[in-house]
Amino acid sequence: DLYGIGVGQCFWVVVDPMLRVCLSMPDAPGVAARVLVHVMRLPPVLDGPVPALMLPAVLEPAFCQVLMDYYHTHESRPSAVLTRGADGKPVNIIDSGFKSRRDCLLRDGDLVRQLQARIIRRVVPEITRVFQCTVTCMDRMALGRY
């Protein structure tokens, strides 16, 4: 046995664009149709320039709803754009013609820990694998809405 698959056993394995296993099941009558239904529900692979790192399904829908509920019940502020001031020094300005986003700082310690745990478990290993670097810290946690 390797990964719970017996020698000579037929097994269906579906991977996402980052080669993460998103479905696996032993072959049996009717399984091919179930696998096809699953594959048809996957987000489309976009043509165009390759993104630096694409990680679908990092946060499960129920947790996304919790974060959206938090956003809608807490103060949000317009997100600034970093630009150069008249003196040449960097300044933050609000320019809704360039960027229209509102940010809500995530201040609930339990939610921050839950989000960090998901990032550490699901994102950090991919960053390490793709960019061969070690993630050493995280910035403040903010929820943004465009």
- The whole-model pTM stands at 0.63
Q: How far apart are CA 82 and CA 92, in angstroms?
A: 5
Query: What number is the average pLDDT over the span 100-108?
Result: 91
pLDDT at 60: 96
Segments making up each domain of the chain, as ranges: 1-48, 61-145
The larger pLDDT score, comparing residue 12 to residue 6, is at: 12
Per-residue pLDDT tens for 48-101? Answer: 776 678 888 899 999 999 999 999 999 988 887 777 888 888 887 777 777 778
